[in-house]
């Protein structure tokens, strides 16, 4: 199989991508198809569809696992079979995502609600047809037994001010990332998997720190009210890391210096 194009979007690292594309609304991306293949004709009549299926490659994954640990496991289980999951580690690294189609311009498809990483190779595009593709009454197996409803995620004034400043000076979106990562459950060890979410929790003080790229999001939580409060943002760099002349692997150290100077 040869990719027909490439997806470009906000999610650069694996931990940036949401578990489901519908949780990433408001983060438009685009699919750019290869020229010289007569794909202009192949795209004819697609712009009348609200959603499309995007078949793609998990290009950053190697190998596969027969079982996987889902974000919210079913009661009494830690892992489920890979074929009963949406795990990206599969015998053939093929992904399937139903995204919202915004518009088609030439060889570019503008989309939203995509759970793909920037640079993802796209293998095929098909229209989403509700009559044929939607089965709202279908049983969902172990997913119906998942523990934990969505929690409310709120913002403290300090976090709002810092997040606004970061959004104005970079392409980072800390608030959306925190919403996706912290709204899923009861903060038990089954739901709050620090290895998956770059997360540390202090159960005594009911606080935690969530890593977003090189920033750190500090929050508190209330199990009884099922609520998370985003408190503030800090830099993940030490003073030595930010010293002039130090290696700048991610090209964002000046952003952090300016952030610290402002806050």
Question: Two tokens at 85?
Answer: 């999951």
Give yes or no for residue 30 having a pLDDT over 60: yes
Name the H helices within the chain.
39-42, 130-133, 157-169, 174-182, 194-197, 253-262
How is the beta sheet containing 199-202 ordered, strand by strand? Answer: 152-155, 227-235, 215-222, 207-212, 199-202
* pLDDT in the model for residue 152: 87
Q: Where are the domains of the chain?
A: 5-133, 152-262
Residue found under tokens 């650069």:
12
Contact 178, 218 (CB under 8 A): no
End-to-end CA distance of the chain: 50
Q: At 88, is the pLDDT very low, low, confident or very high (cuts 50, 70, 90)?
A: confident
Which of the pair, 262 or 188, is modelled with greater confidence? Answer: 262
- Give domain 5-133's CATH number out of 2.60.40.1840, 3.20.20.100, 2.40.30.70, 3.65.10.10: 2.40.30.70
pLDDT (average), residues 160-176:
88
* pLDDT in the model for residue 195: 46
What architecture is the 152-262 domain classified under in CATH?
Answer: 2-Layer Sandwich (3.30)
Q: What is the pLDDT of residues 212-258, one digit of tens each?
A: 889 999 999 988 888 999 999 999 999 999 998 888 888 899 999 99
Contact 237, 256 (CB under 8 A): yes
Question: Two tokens at 153?
Answer: 């995620």
Q: At 191, is the pLDDT very low, low, confident or very high (cuts 50, 70, 90)?
A: very low
Contact 219, 178 (CB under 8 A): yes
CA 174 – CA 179 distance, rounded (Å) = 9
Q: What is the pLDDT of residues 38-87, one digit of tens each?
A: 999 999 999 989 999 999 999 888 889 899 887 666 777 778 899 998 88
């Amino acid at each position: 199989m040869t990719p027909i194009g490439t997806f470009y979007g906000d999610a650069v690292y694996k931990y940036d991508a949401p578990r489901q594309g519908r949780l990433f609304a408001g983060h438009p991306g685009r699919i750019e198809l290869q020229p010289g293949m007569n794909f202009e004709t192949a795209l004819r009549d697609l712009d009348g569809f609200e959603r499309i299926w995007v078949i793609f490659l998990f290009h950053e994954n190697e190998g596969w696992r027969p079982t996987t640990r889902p974000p919210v496991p079913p009661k009494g289980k830690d892992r489920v079979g890979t074929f009963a999951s949406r795990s990206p580690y599969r015998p053939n690294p093929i992904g399937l995502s139903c995204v919202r189609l915004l518009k088609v311009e030439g060889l570019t498809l503008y989309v939203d609600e995509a759970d793909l990483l920037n640079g993802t190779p796209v293998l095929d595009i098909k229209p989403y047809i509700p009559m044929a593709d939607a089965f709202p009454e279908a049983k969902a197996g172990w997913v119906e037994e998942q523990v934990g409803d969505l929690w409310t995620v709120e913002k403290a004034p300090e976090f709002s001010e810092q997040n606004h400043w970061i959004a104005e000076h970079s392409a980072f979106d800390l608030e959306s990332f925190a919403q996706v990562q912290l709204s899923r459950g009861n903060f038990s060890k089954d739901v709050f998997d620090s290895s998956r979410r770059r997360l540390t929790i202090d159960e005594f003080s009911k606080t935690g720190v969530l890593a977003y790229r090189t920033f750190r999001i500090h929050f508190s939580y209330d199990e009884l009210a099922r609520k998370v409060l985003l408190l503030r943002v800090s830099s993940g760099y030490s003073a030595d890391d930010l010293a002039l002349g130090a290696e700048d692997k991610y090209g964002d150290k000046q952003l952090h210096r300016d952030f610290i100077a402002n806050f």
